Structure 1
Amino acid sequence: MYRGIKLSRLIILLAAFFLLTLCSGIGTAAEIYVQPGDSIQTAVDNSVSGDVILLKPGTYTENVNVNKDNLVISSESGNPDDTIIVAASSSDHVITLQANNVEISGLGITGAMDSYAGIYLSECNNCVLEYNKILNNGYGVYLLLSKGNTLSSNVISSNGVSGLFVCPRSDNNLVFNNYFNNTVNANIKNGAGNAYNIMKTEGVNIVGGPCLGGNFWAEPDGTGFSETAVDANEDGIADFAYRFADSICSDELPLVSVPEPEKPILSVTGFQIDNTSRNNSTSINEDNSDESTTDVSPEPARNVESEEISETFITDDKEVKFDFERNETCVAYLTFNSKKTVGKTTAVVEMLKANSSLVSEPLSDEVYRYFNIWIGDGEYATPANIENPVVCFKVEKSWLEDKNINWNSIKLNTYSAGEWKELPVNLTGEDNNFLYFTAQPLEFPFFAITGKSEGGIVGGSADSQPSGSDARGFNVENSGTINNANVEIALEKKATAPGFETIYGLSSLLVLFLYRKMKP
């Protein structure tokens, strides 16, 4: 009998020890915060199943390989416009997934070229990609031997080879409520059980329509299926299915634009891709009682901090000047000579919160402001129509001092043919708060004002140094080294999570209690 008691006690102790061991794994999952300059890869490598990796707003230049299951990698803000991963090597996927049950959410993803993808899924099951903005890669999303994954509420645009690729052995994947705008939107090699829509359900879709169903299929030239399809009952769903080329698959409930004027901004939890009326910061310098102002900008409204509009009458061989007198933006005026008479014309300056969503290339220097200038119908401002253009812009003296930037390093950058071009500038004047510069741009409409931080005399005016402000926008620059300190601190905090110690202590007390109770 005594032997039986000892055996029972041994069994109970082993069970308690097993419980203790099991509990030691509880509470170790954590939120790991990564900041610009830190390494996302380091956070992934040091994570455990169940961890949530949150990226602070900013730009991260690296290629990330995720090979651990049950992770969430997301922007803290939920906004892909302010949290961007740019490929360090364009000859690799921006994000490679080789794991199951991984969620990628709220990120801007760009920079892979040719046969490489923004997000590449290889033998992945049950992963979720949502609320991302995947632009200017070879492929947007590439599925290889992957099953049961869900892609929803993503903007997949301007990818050179294809927006979406699905290999013939990728099965049971669900793709719905995404906005596609690529020359080739989808290369679907069939597969079993893949679906490109859900059942028609009431709810605001990615282009502002009243129903959820399939995806919005646009093309860069404006002739995409969703842009031209018939929607007789105006429910935001096309009357006919969208059939994929060279595939048996189709989107049975493709989205279409809702009728004007109800059409809202394309919205993906804080992300917007289409244009809409601006906020009250818009100003018009001349009488706007008529409706001659034409809103031609495709810039997402969410990315526009403020704008100012000016109108004038353009005639042949006369100098044209648009004054922006209300100081809503960083542009003071714009002049040029017109080669033809076009009549009353509007110029719009948009001062942006970040790099234009229509531009993918980063700038290495410190960015003061990104801005767009749209003239007329958006296609007028070309060398065929204008000559001798001059843009006068202003830079805060306080920003120069705060960033330790020599005013001599200020440049105006213009974006054309897939790259930024640096323009020389002339310092033309100053007041108490600003330095004024002019430059002669060769291209419109995308601009950025940059400067370089230098030793010695910096800042404020041609004669003095001013004080303190901050620039806003994407600053896609790499310090040259990756700092893992913040990631490591987060991991240390994870290892000492209070929930773990509490459970461990309670389990230890339980073992002690059982041992004393069973002691003969």
Structure 2
Amino acid sequence: MYVGQDKPGDPNNEKGSSGGGGGSATGGDYENIKFKDFSIRSVKAEMPIIYNFEEKGNPVGRIELISSRNNGQVKLIIEILKNTSTLTNKPPSDTVYMNLNIWAGSSGFENHVRNSSVTFKVEKYWITQEDIDIENIRLEVFEDGQWIALPTEYIDQVGNYVHFKTATDKYLNSPFVIAGSKKILKSNAKNENEIAESNNLNTQKTDINESINTVSEEAEKNALGSEKIMDKMLPAWILIIAFIVRRKLV
């Protein structure tokens, strides 16, 4: 069902949404789909194309791309999911804000696309509630059996949302997640550094004390050795002195 147009009177810029269920033409489990949002644009070779999405609950607001050839009208579909996409075999390790699939045109369309990007938003409430580091919020794609974090940049904050932009390029027909990692407390990191420095200092002190003790022991041994030598040589010196005195008397 079409619900609007990007520009009045332009039938090539249509967008809309539909509820979950009814099957998924993209191979995912339809029971895992909350709803689908889509936008249709006329794609011309080497022309920047912008797909806008406005369905409530869809964090993706815009997808931009350039195609190397004329493709006519191309439909982009965003499936908002209840859980991790069934097209993957494991969830990501980071804290997930939203699971979604993005499908661009017919099979092979993504092979002619470059400079594609996805602009999305994240609720400030979720960031605070989950103690997420804004600098580590990103769009991740599932590729070759693993989740890959795509280069994501912070844009701005408007109202209750923080906006980001991710370069996607060849990854348009794929499962995605919007995710972030939790903050690392600086105080804990500082304490760990202080403990490590203290341990290093104690180790250095121990090494110095051991070196001093070793030198002292060697000096003591040398002193005892000298005393023993003097004790052994004393009778000989007495005999020599007595002999010299006797000769003088004679």
Does the TM-score normalized on the shorter chain lie above 0.5? yes
Q: Is 1:366 aligned to residue 103 of structure 2?
A: no
Q: How does 1:248-259 map to 2 (within 5 A)?
A: none
Q: State how far apart, in whole Å, the 2-side matches of 1:360 and 1:302 are.
A: 17
- The match for 1:420 is 147
Shift of residue 433, structure 1, vs aligned partner? 1.3
Which residue of the partner structure matches residue 171 of structure 2?
A: 443
Structure 1 position 283, deviation (Å): 6.0
C-alpha distance in structure 2 between counterparts of 1:421 and 1:339, whole Å: 26
Structure with bigger strand share is 2
Aligned partner letter, 2:36: E
Counterpart amino acid of residue 443 in structure 1: Y
By how many angstroms is 1:319 displaced?
0.6
Residues 350 and 373 in structure 1, CA contact (< 8 A), matched pair in contact too: yes
Cα distance, 1:351 vs structure 2 = 1.0
Structure 1 position 313 matched with structure 2 position 50: no
What does residue range 68-467 of structure 1 map to in structure 2 within 5 Å?
Answer: 284-286=3-5, 296-382=25-111, 385-441=112-168, 442-444=170-172, 445-456=174-185
Deviation at 1:379, TM superposition (A): 3.3
Contact 1:312–1:345 under 8 Å retained in 2:
yes
Equivalent-residue separation in structure 1 for 2:146 and 2:185 (angstroms): 31
Q: Distance in 1 between matches of 2:3 and 2:71?
A: 20
Matched with 1:262 is: none
Per the alignment, in what secondary structure is the counterpart of residue 401 of structure 1? Answer: helix
Cα 1:283–1:429, aligned 2, differ >3 Å: closer, same or farther?
farther
Cα distance in structure 1, aligned partners of 2:175 and 2:86: 10
Please report the RMSD computed on the Cα atoms of aligned residues, expressed in angstroms.
2.3
Segments of 5+ residues of structure 2 without an aligned counterpart are 6-10, 18-23, 187-250
State how far apart, in whole Å, the 1-side matches of 2:56 and 2:42 are.
Answer: 22
Cα 1:426–1:402, aligned 2, differ >3 Å: closer, same or farther? same
1:326 and 1:285 mapped to 2: Cα distance?
A: 11
Q: Distance in 2 between matches of 1:413 and 1:436?
A: 16
8 Å Cα contact 1:284-1:309 kept in structure 2: no
Q: Counterparts of 1:392 and 1:314 in 2: how far apart (Å)? A: 19
Q: In structure 1, what residue type is equivalent to 2:127?
A: L
- What is residue 514 of structure 1 aligned with on the other side? none
Residue 429 of structure 1 and its aligned partner are, at CA, apart by 1.8
Deviation at 1:456, TM superposition (A): 4.6
| Count of paired positions | 170
What is the rounded CA distance, in whole Å, between the counterparts of 2:78 and 2:4 in structure 1? Answer: 12
Deviations 1:196-238 (A, max 9, x none): xxxxxxxxxxxxxxxxxxxxxxxxxxxxxxxxxxxxxxxxxxx
Superposition deviation, residue 415 in structure 1:
1.2
Q: Distance in 1 between the 2:156 and 2:96 partners?
A: 21
Other structure's SS at 2:110 match: coil
2: CA distance, partners of 1:328 / 1:372: 14
Find the structure with the greater CA-based Rg.
2
- The 8 Å contact of residues 430 and 436 in structure 1, kept in 2 or not, is answered as yes
Distance 1:283 1:330, change over 3 A: farther
